[in-house]
């Protein structure tokens, strides 16, 4: 049931985001920022892939080793491109998108409840800035570290297909948590409490995140995920006396 609810709230957030001009603008802005940073890093890797490999193994002058060197150069490029995508996501998420996501969450909360309940509102702009970055670092780095381990396991072990499925589902769940964690983080809940909330609602996060695995449509879902995630938190967690 929670799995289906996760899918449903993704669509609810998408529809609300597309119908609300401010949310629509912020969702598109978030997508553009991630794409620009990702393309900049990936293109740099492709331009300099020969020089990077030469630092490890100098290109042979002739013979069959040249073909091996060329094949390794492109394999290295693919691997570095994947790493650059992770780095681009981290940079965009920590320094740019966390503010956009938080703003989208605040707008959604105000539309539903009339105001955004948050101690962060009482902070100065600078303190709010550092608070959001501090909250985002563990939430972004831990999942990306696990994804890197899954990536290496898929490349170096015979369990590649199975690892690929597990890593894709885990990536979707962690991306869902990026969004459902916005309200608890803004309300100054500790990281331990917020992580317990993620584990308690793991089926919801899998359902919410599985939409991010659909090619092309995932662009829309990711851009407006803060809306659906905030709707879920407000409608299912607010008013409960017990902690997550």
Better pLDDT: 139 or 155: 139
- Does residue 54 register a pLDDT over 80? no
- Does residue 242 register a pLDDT over 60? no
How would residue 226 be classed by pLDDT, with cut points 50, 70 and 90?
A: very high
How would residue 117 be classed by pLDDT, with cut points 50, 70 and 90?
A: low
Better pLDDT: 92 or 155: 92
Kindly state the average pLDDT of the residues 132-142.
68
* pLDDT confidence of residue 55: 72
Q: Comparing C-alpha atoms, which of 142, 119, 127, 128 is closest to residue 191? A: 142
* pLDDT confidence of residue 108: 93
* pLDDT confidence of residue 33: 81
* pLDDT confidence of residue 204: 95
Kindly state the average pLDDT of the residues 85-95.
66
Kindly state the average pLDDT of the residues 58-66.
72
Kindly report the pTM of this predicted structure: 0.70
Kindly state the average pLDDT of the residues 48-54.
68
- Does residue 83 register a pLDDT over 70? no
- Does residue 16 register a pLDDT over 90? yes
User: For the segment 151-208, what is each residue's pLDDT rounded down to a tens digit?
Assistant: 667 666 666 667 767 777 887 888 899 899 888 888 878 888 888 899 899 999 999 9
* pLDDT confidence of residue 174: 86
In the chain, what are the domain boundaries? 2-236
- Does residue 90 register a pLDDT over 50? yes
* pLDDT confidence of residue 243: 44
How would residue 220 be classed by pLDDT, with cut points 50, 70 and 90?
A: confident
């Amino acid at each position: 049931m929670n799995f289906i609810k996760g899918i449903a709230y993704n669509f609810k957030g998408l529809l609300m985001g597309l119908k609300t001009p401010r949310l629509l603008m912020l969702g598109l802005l978030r997508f553009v920022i991630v794409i620009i940073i990702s393309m900049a890093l990936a293109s740099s890797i492709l331009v300099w892939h020969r020089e990077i490999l030469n630092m490890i193994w100098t290109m042979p002058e002739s013979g069959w080793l040249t073909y091996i060197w060329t094949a390794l150069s492109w394999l290295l490029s693919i691997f570095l491109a994947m790493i650059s995508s992770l780095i681009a996501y981290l940079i965009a998420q920590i320094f740019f998108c966390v503010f956009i996501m938080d703003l989208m969450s605040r707008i959604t909360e105000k539309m539903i409840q009339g105001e955004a309940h948050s101690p962060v509102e009482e902070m100065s702009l600078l303190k709010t800035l550092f608070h959001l970055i501090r909250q985002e670092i563990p939430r972004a780095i831990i999942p990306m570290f696990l994804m890197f381990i899954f990536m290496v396991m898929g490349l170096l072990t015979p369990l590649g297909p199975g690892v690929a499925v597990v890593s894709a589902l885990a990536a979707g769940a962690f991306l869902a948590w990026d969004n459902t964690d916005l309200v608890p983080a803004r309300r100054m809940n500790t990281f331990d409490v917020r992580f317990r909330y993620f584990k308690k609602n793991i089926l919801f996060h899998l359902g919410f995140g599985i939409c991010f695995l659909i090619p092309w449509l995932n662009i829309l879902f990711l851009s407006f995920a803060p809306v659906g995630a905030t709707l879920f938190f407000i409608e299912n967690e607010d008013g409960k006396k017990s902690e997550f």
